[in-house]
Structure 1
Amino acid sequence: MRADRIMPERWNKLLREALKFGIVGGVNTVINFVVFNALALTIFHNGQLKANVVATVFATITSYFMNRHWTYRDRPKSAIRRETTLFVLFNATGLVIELGVLGIAKYGLDMHSLLWLNVFKFLGLGLATIFRFYTYRTFVFRAAPAPEVALPSVATVRQNDHHLDGDVIATFDPVAELAEVVEEFESAGSARRHR
């Protein structure tokens, strides 16, 4: 049995987005680690945090294009400036999370081995990825607003069906319904007074 028959559409969409986000994240994780290790072994031999910044910035750029044009391609593209600003802001926050974990390993736990730094980089990247997934789908690549459902006006209802009574028409117009209730209340009050 297919998953789309078991789960509601909302969960299916979330699952598809998470799967695409995971694939994009996997590709960018490989890019991030390759760039990080290449820089840590050459240019930034003792500057692993600097190597991490460069690697994360490089992976962030590729991540934006992959997420914008594949993972969230069904989302509206009307606010690119807002989207890009939030993407950069949330990725900078993700970078701070990664750097915090890597900094704790290097300076707090005095681990300077590239193997251990890669392990802690992986942990920091995992925490930052959870943060990024939530913020991308909630704030950056927002879903299009649901279309508003317009109720027919009283005039349209009257044109379409000349035999409607006041009760049906009142259900389409809250003001008319309130007026009807007030009218019934007033007529009930005047009937009591005349007895």
Structure 2
Amino acid sequence: MSLVQRGLDRVPQRYRAVVLQHQELLKFAVVGAITWFVDTGTVYALKLTVLQDKPLTARALGVLIATIVSYVLNREWSFRARGGRQRHHEAALFFAVSALAIVVTVVPQAVSLYVFDIRVPHVSAPTQAVANFVSGQILGVLLAMGFRFWALRRFVFPEDLREAELETL
């Protein structure tokens, strides 16, 4: 029995239909949680070592690595039943959407650092760290996640194109 089936078996019967109706969203959220940990781990590993004075560079690299992991997991699990495009075309669209999502992710932290000036020497290092976490890891990631879900379903992994072509014949 698969992990998903075991989880579904634990859902009360009256909620099971809702879970099944939104299974893509739930799978996307699980992928998002996994890639959030990949992103966060990468960002803090870089900020605590080689990029101590470059929090936005660490953020961009964390998002880039998490995006690669996200493509594989979303293609093979979340949106497995969708698609129909050639893989290289689909991958190009995915990374274009993700590039826009990187901008969405970075904007709240950039505003925090450079518009509100919440950075050393204007504030203490712990204050900057908390502001970076809230603006980047929470607000930026949530905004980008909403954008990605909408754009992936709309442009990258639309309803199966093969089925749509067969219906028009």
Q: Normalised by the size of structure 1, how large is the TM-score?
A: 0.69
Aligned equivalent of 1:104, options 108, 111, 131:
111
Change (3 A) 1:127 1:149: closer
SS at match of 2:71: helix
Larger RCO: Structure 1 or Structure 2 (Cα < 8 Å, ≥ 6 residues apart)?
Answer: 2
Aligned partner of 1:127 in structure 2 is: 143
Instruction: Provide the identity percentage.
Output: 30
Aligned partner of 1:158 in structure 2 is: none
Aligned equivalent of 1:61, options 62, 68, 91:
68
SS at match of 1:148: helix
Q: Is the 8 A contact 2:74 2:80 kept in 1?
A: yes
1:117 matched to 2:132? The reply is: yes
SS at match of 2:113: helix
Which whole-Å deviations, capped at 9, do the CAs of 1:98-152 have from their partners, x for residues lacking one?
A: 11111001111122321210110020111011000001111101111444287xx
1:82 matched to 2:89? The reply is: yes
Which whole-Å deviations, capped at 9, do the CAs of 1:3-31 have from their partners, x for residues lacking one?
A: 455x6xxx944x10000000000000011
Aligned partner of 2:154 in structure 1 is: 138
Distance, in Å, in 2 between the alignment partners of 1:149 and 1:81 is: 25
Task: Flag structure 2 segments of 5+ consecutive residues without an equivalent.
Answer: 1-12, 120-127
Paired letter, 1:75: R
Larger of the two Rg values belongs to structure? 1
Distance, in Å, in 1 between the alignment partners of 2:159 and 2:83 is: 7
Q: Is the 8 A contact 2:28 2:149 kept in 1?
A: yes
Aligned equivalent of 1:95, options 102, 107, 127:
102
Distance, in Å, in 2 between the alignment partners of 1:37 and 1:128 is: 19
Q: Which stretches of structure 1, 4 residues or more, deviate above 6 A after TM superposition?
A: none
Which whole-Å deviations, capped at 9, do the CAs of 1:48-89 have from their partners, x for residues lacking one?
A: 110011100000000000000011111234421221111111
Distance, in Å, in 2 between the alignment partners of 1:133 and 1:123 is: 16
Aligned partner of 1:169 in structure 2 is: none
1:18 matched to 2:25? The reply is: yes
Distance, in Å, in 1 between the alignment partners of 2:99 and 2:87 is: 18
Task: Output the aligned Cα RMSD.
Answer: 2.0
SS at match of 2:167: coil
Q: Is the 8 A contact 2:83 2:156 kept in 1?
A: no
Paired letter, 1:141: F
